[in-house]
A and B are shown apart, each in its own frame.
Chain A
Amino acid sequence: MKGLIYREFYLSRKSVFLMLLVYVLFVFMLSLVMISTYAGNLAKDPEADEMCEYLYSSMYIYAGFIAIIGVTYGHNDIIEKDYKSHWQLYSYTLPADEKKIITSKFVYRGILILFGFMLAVLADAIFSIAAGKPLSMSHFKNTLILLLGYGMFCMADIPMMLRFKTQGKSAAVIMPIATPFMAAFGYGTYRFVKLCTAEAKRLYPNMDGDAAMKKVAYSYIMPYRDIAVWILPVLAAAAVVLCYFWAIKEMKRRRY
Chain B
Amino acid sequence: MKDYENAIEIKGLTKKYDGFTLDKVSFSVPKGSIMGFIGQNGAGKTTTINAILNIVKKDEGEIRLFGLDHEKDEYEAKKNMAAVFDELPFDDRLNAIAIDKILREIYEEWSTDTFFGYLDRFALPRKKKFGEFSKGMKMKLQIASALSHNAKLLIMDEATTGLDPVVRNEILDIFLEYLQNEDHSILMSSHITSDLDKVADSVTFIDKGKLLISGYKDDILDSHGILKCTKDDYKEIAPEDIVSARINDFGAEVMVSDKAACSRKYSGAVIDNATLEDIMLYYVNRGKKEWR
List the interface of chain A (C-beta within 8 A of B): 1-4, 6-7, 10-11, 14, 81-82, 85-87, 89-90, 92-97, 255-256
Contact = CB atoms under 8 A, between A and B. Distances in A.
Nearest to A14: B93
A10 B90 contact: no
Given A3-B101, A6-B101, A256-B55, A94 B88 contact: no
A11 B91 CA distance: 8
A97 B78 CA distance: 10
B250 interface: no
Interface in B113-157: none
Interface stretch (B4-12, B79-87, B236-244): B79-87
A86 B158 CA distance: 15
A200 B105 CA distance: 62
Interface residues of B, number: 30
Contact of B91 (A4, A87, A96): A87
B157 to A, nearest CB: 10
Interface of B: 53-57, 74-76, 78-79, 81-83, 85, 87-94, 98, 101-107
B101 A95 contact: no
Contacts of A93: 53, 55, 78, 81-83
A4 B94 CA distance: 13
B102 A92 contact: no
B56 A6 contact: no
Contacts of A10: 93-94, 98, 101-102
Contacts of A90: 83, 85, 89-90
User: Which residue among A4, A82, A89 has the maximum number of chain B CB atoms within 10 Å of its CB?
Assistant: A89
29 contacts: A2-B105, A3-B101, A3-B103, A3-B106, A4-B102, A6-B98, A6-B101, A7-B102, A10-B93, A10-B94, A10-B98, A11-B91, A11-B93, A11-B94, A82-B91, A86-B87, A86-B88, A86-B89, A87-B89, A87-B91, A89-B85, A90-B90, A93-B78, A93-B82, A96-B75, A96-B106, A97-B74, A97-B75, A255-B55
Nearest to A97: B75
Contacts of A89: 55, 85, 89
Given A89-B55, A93-B53, A256-B57, A81 B91 contact: yes
The binding surface of chain A is classed by DSSP as helix
A86 B93 contact: no
Contacts of A95: 75-76, 78-79, 106-107
B54 A92 contact: yes
B89 to A, nearest CB: 3
A4 B53 contact: no
A141 B103 CA distance: 41
A85 B92 contact: yes
A2 B105 CA distance: 6
B78 A94 contact: yes
A99 to B, nearest CB: 11
Contacts of B102: 3-4, 6-7, 10
Contacts of B54: 92, 255
Nearest to B146: A93
A85 B106 contact: no
Contacts of A96: 75, 106
Contacts of B93: 10-11, 14
Nearest to B57: A256
B75 A85 contact: no
A7 B76 CA distance: 22
A97 B74 CA distance: 9
A227 to B, nearest CB: 43
Given A93-B53, A95-B107, 4 more contacts: A6-B102, A92-B55, A93-B78, A94-B78
Contacts of B92: 85
Contacts of A6: 98, 101-102, 105
B290 to A, nearest CB: 41
- Which one of B79, B91, B98, B104 has the greatest number of beta carbons of chain A within 10 Å? B91
Nearest to B54: A92
A125 B107 CA distance: 44
Given A85-B91, A85-B92, A86-B87, A94 B56 contact: no
A152 B81 CA distance: 38
